[in-house]
Amino acid sequence: MPEKQENLQNSTNTSRRSFFNKLWIFLGFVAFAEFISVVGAFLLPRKRRIKTSNFGPIIEAGPVEKFPLDSVTAFIRGKFYLSRLEDGGFLALSRKCTHLGCTIPWISKEKNFACPCHSSAFDIRGEVISPPAPRALDIYHVFIENNIIKVDTGKKIKRTEFRSGQVTYPKKKNDRITG
């Protein structure tokens, strides 16, 4: 009888051991499948969702006279800053840092934008003055109709650096169109 018990015990140990081996192999496959799905989700581009809003992409900022020279005004609704340069021109700058997309505040005492995430800094024109940001802030198209500033927030314009052609100037009173 002791022989039967020994055989029964060996078969029980063997079946228990084979069960745990199979369980570990199964769990290994599950972990590998999860790893592959996480890596795949990271590498594949996300689908961009189109945001629908009730106010449209064009935001009316206000009359030209409302904005003093060398000033920056935040527009929460449009998620941009309207920058009026010393020479009277306007730029609509994105509020997102070009390094990792953190929201950047305007620091009026220092007269620059400072990223709270990695300390990138930008001047009033959106130019990088302190890296790690790789390029200037994105801009939006600004146009002036009847002395009212309007900003088209429908599409960001990516740029590498500031160029004078990006600035919108109000028409002077003596710049009349004759027909």
- Whether the Cβ atoms of residue 70 and residue 86 lie closer than 8 Å to each other: yes
- Examine residue 53 and state whether it is found in any structural domain, yes or no: no
Rounded Cα–Cα distance for residues 94 and 14 (Å):
67
- Examine residue 108 and state whether it is found in any structural domain, yes or no: yes
- Examine residue 150 and state whether it is found in any structural domain, yes or no: yes
Task: Compute φ and ψ for 165, nearest 5 degrees.
Answer: -70, -10
Q: Do residue 81 and residue 5 come from a single domain?
A: no
User: Which secondary structure element, helix H or strand E, spans residue 11, and what is its range?
Assistant: helix 2-43
- Whether the Cβ atoms of residue 119 and residue 73 lie closer than 8 Å to each other: no
pLDDT, tens only, 125-156: 999 999 899 999 999 999 999 999 999 988 88
For the domain that residue 124 is a member of, what is the CATH number? Answer: 2.102.10.10
**Does the predicted model carry a pTM greater than 0.75?**
no
Residue 137 tokens read as: 């802030």
Q: How confident is the model at residue 57 (pLDDT cuts 50, 70, 90)?
A: confident
- Examine residue 152 and state whether it is found in any structural domain, yes or no: yes
Q: Do residue 64 and residue 43 come from a single domain?
A: no
User: Which secondary structure element, helix H or strand E, spans residue 5, and what is its range?
Assistant: helix 2-43
Q: How confident is the model at residue 175 (pLDDT cuts 50, 70, 90)?
A: low
Q: Do residue 27 and residue 62 come from a single domain?
A: no
Domain count, the chain: 2
Q: How confident is the model at residue 80 (pLDDT cuts 50, 70, 90)?
A: very high
DSSP annotation of 115: -
Q: Do residue 159 and residue 84 come from a single domain?
A: yes
Q: Do residue 32 and residue 89 come from a single domain?
A: no
Q: How confident is the model at residue 179 (pLDDT cuts 50, 70, 90)?
A: very low
